Structure 1
Amino acid sequence: MFASLSSSNSSLSLLHSALWLSVQWFWSFTFFVLLYLLLPFCLSIGLLRDYTMFHVHVQHPTSYNLHAISENQIP
C-alpha cells in the first residue's frame, strides 16, 4: 500500500514540476517577446511618427497651413 502511495505521489510531483516548468517557460518567452521584439518596434514607430510630424510642421509649415486652410481649420 505504501509503495503505490509513494508511486502516485512521485508521479504527482513530476506532473507538478512539469507544469511549473512549462509556466515558467511561457512567461519567460512572453517577456522575451515583449521586451526584445515589441518594445523596439513600438519605439521605432513612435520615433518615426515624431520625425514625420517634426518634418511636416517645422520643415514645411506652409503645406501644413494650406492643409488647415483647405479644411477651414485655421490654427
Structure 2
Amino acid sequence: MSETDTELSDLPPSAKLVYKVLEFEEELTQKQLVEETLLSPRTIRYALERLQSIGVVEEDIYFPDARQSLYRVVEPSCATCE
C-alpha cells in the first residue's frame, strides 16, 4: 500500500467519495461536486480541505466564473513511481 493510499484510508467517507468523483470526472467546481455527490456544500468544503492538506487534490482558477475554483486529483510524481 502506498503512502497516498494510507493517507486516504484515514480520511472520512465523504472525502473518499469526493476523491473518487474527482478521479473519475477529472475536474470539477465545488458546486459541481455538490451536484455529483449529493453532499452538502459544507461537507464538500471540509473534504476538499482535507484532500488538499495531504496533497492529493489541487485547486485552480475556474475561468468561466473566477469566483469559483476548479479541483482536480494531483498526479503522483515520477519520483515516487516504482
TM-score normalized by the length of structure 2 = 0.20
Greater fraction helix: 1
Greater fraction strand: 2
Higher RCO structure (Cα 8 Å, ≥6 apart): 2
